[in-house]
Chains A and B, each alone.
Chain A
């Protein structure tokens, strides 16, 4: 389904490695199954040819990996960035989290990535082989002889259904055409929840958040969560490295996690993608983004390097915290 081919990416990586522009390539490598694509640092052509993959499961946002990888390699790292990844890339640059000089960014077009859990829900467990066939996926499971045909658009990641941009906001080189910023309906679900009564909202979130196992995957995958010391690792907090003891701890973790990235979250959707319990974490982030847009003017984190996040900025005539609700009640 992707417009760009694996061969094009391989050729680009090979030539940049060969002429010494980069010393390593940050790319997707084969996992145990067709769908569990794993990020990897490639340093040789042979390795690339054996293990590099590019398919509909390459959802991983590489921006965050640059923070830890740029220090470990002499010379530049080649990184492939999808449009939504470039926003995180810019945001990390704004926060001085890695050295731009040590990265060679290649922008690649993306037609949307597939959500493995949605695919499994459609075909059942035990997927043994996945083939691409135009806009469909041919999925063979160990229980069926005939492969099932699943249209890609039915199993897209949530962030790709509501894709906010096909435009790359940062790159050294672009493969394929420059896309456009999309006027997506990404805040619709948030608005639906806002329209519920407080009791319904409470029940909704109690239901969603109670599934949390505190695996910290949302934090670890989030390109905005790059603090060297995290509040959730603080041994004095009483909540480090353990499952939530009760509903308070669930809520506290999720409120604070979303709050700590408020104003810096680019809405890349990694949190929801990696959540093993399929909690719609992006809704919490989008609530903050939607509020910030409404209260303090439109702001897209990562759209440009050096922009000031709304929560570390102010004007003298900002909305009062109490007025937030008055405004909403007036709209209702």
Chain B
């Protein structure tokens, strides 16, 4: 018998210099994290336009996580400081519109933190799975 368990789709925006390398390290160390996480490499976490996040939800993502260098360690000196302010404002607004706040997250993962990357992704996938399908920011035209 087939069980129709919902498999979430997670979009992870990872900065090229820290978090993407962190994901690589997690792989090298053979640390498990769910295959539901789809990584999109961005030059810096501040490359992530709020529109990207909404677009990800539109096209079927159930959760969006943004990973960047730790504050102070940005390759471009200050990019992640801007990300921090922007995302605080955006997530607060999404929550204001009644969209589950657990679907979005910002996490700082350095290139040396493969274990943290895997742990973060496991935790986030678990959190989003518990919420179920993204209904509040879905676009039925984009449903698979």
Residues of A within 8 A of B (CB): 193-194, 198-206, 231, 245-246, 248-249, 251-252, 255-256, 258-259, 262, 284, 287-288, 291-292, 295-296, 310-316, 318-322, 324-325
10 further interface pairs, Cβ-Cβ under 8 Å (given A251-B97, A252-B51, A314-B82): A198-B101, A203-B98, A246-B141, A248-B58, A249-B139, A255-B54, A287-B92, A291-B89, A310-B85, A314-B85
Interface: B35 (CB within 8 A) = no
Instruction: Find residues 87-142 in chain B having any chain A CB closer than 8 Å to their own CB.
Output: 87-101, 104-106, 136-141
Q: Which residues of A contact B104 (CB under 8 A)?
A: 321
Contact A201 B91 (CB under 8 A): no
Contact A321 B87 (CB under 8 A): yes
Name 7 interchain pairs, CB-CB below 8 A, sorted by A. A198-B99, A201-B96, A201-B97, A255-B90, A295-B88, A296-B85, A324-B91
Q: How far, in Å, is B74 (CB) from chain A's closest CB?
A: 11
A251 and B92 in contact, given A205-B97, A256-B51, A320-B84 (Cβ under 8 angstroms): no
A202 and B78 in contact, given A287-B92, A320-B88, A325-B95 (Cβ under 8 angstroms): no
Q: Which residues of A contact B91 (CB under 8 A)?
A: 321, 324-325
Contact A291 B98 (CB under 8 A): no
Q: Which of B89, B106, B141 has the most CB of A within 10 A?
A: B89
A2–B143 Cα distance when bound, in Å, is 56
Q: Which residues of B contact A262 (CB under 8 A)?
A: 89
Contact B106 A322 (CB under 8 A): yes
Q: How many residues does chain B have at the interface if contact means C-beta atoms less than 8 Å apart? A: 37
Q: Which residues of A contact B72 (CB under 8 A)?
A: 316
Q: Which residues of B contact A200 (CB under 8 A)?
A: 98
Contact A292 B89 (CB under 8 A): yes
A318 and B81 in contact, given A198-B95, A255-B94 (Cβ under 8 angstroms): yes
Q: Which residues of A contact B106 (CB under 8 A)?
A: 320-322
A312 and B92 in contact, given A199-B98, A203-B98, A321-B106 (Cβ under 8 angstroms): no
A194–B101 Cα distance when bound, in Å, is 13
Contact B100 A198 (CB under 8 A): yes
Interface: B71 (CB within 8 A) = yes
Q: Which of A252, A258, A316 has the most CB of B within 10 A?
A: A252
Main secondary structure of the interface of A (DSSP, over half): helix
Q: Which residues of A contact B88 (CB under 8 A)?
A: 291, 295, 318-321, 324
A316 and B71 in contact, given A321-B87, A322-B106 (Cβ under 8 angstroms): yes
Q: How far, in Å, is A245 (CB) from chain B's closest CB?
A: 7
A245–B106 Cα distance when bound, in Å, is 30
Q: Which residues of A contact B138 (CB under 8 A)?
A: 248
Q: Which residues of B contact A288 (CB under 8 A)?
A: 89, 93
Q: Which residue of A lies closest to B106 (CB)?
A: A321
A202 and B82 in contact, given A262-B89, A292-B89 (Cβ under 8 angstroms): no
Q: Which residues of B contact A249 (CB under 8 A)?
A: 139
Contacting A318 at CB < 8 Å: which of B50, B57, B84, B101? B84
A185–B94 Cα distance when bound, in Å, is 23
Q: Which residues of B contact A231 (CB under 8 A)?
A: 51
Contacting B50 at CB < 8 Å: which of A203, A248, A259, A287? A259
Q: Which residue of A lies closest to B78 (CB)?
A: A314
Q: Which residue of B lies closest to A284 (CB)?
A: B93
Contact B92 A291 (CB under 8 A): yes
Contact A259 B90 (CB under 8 A): yes
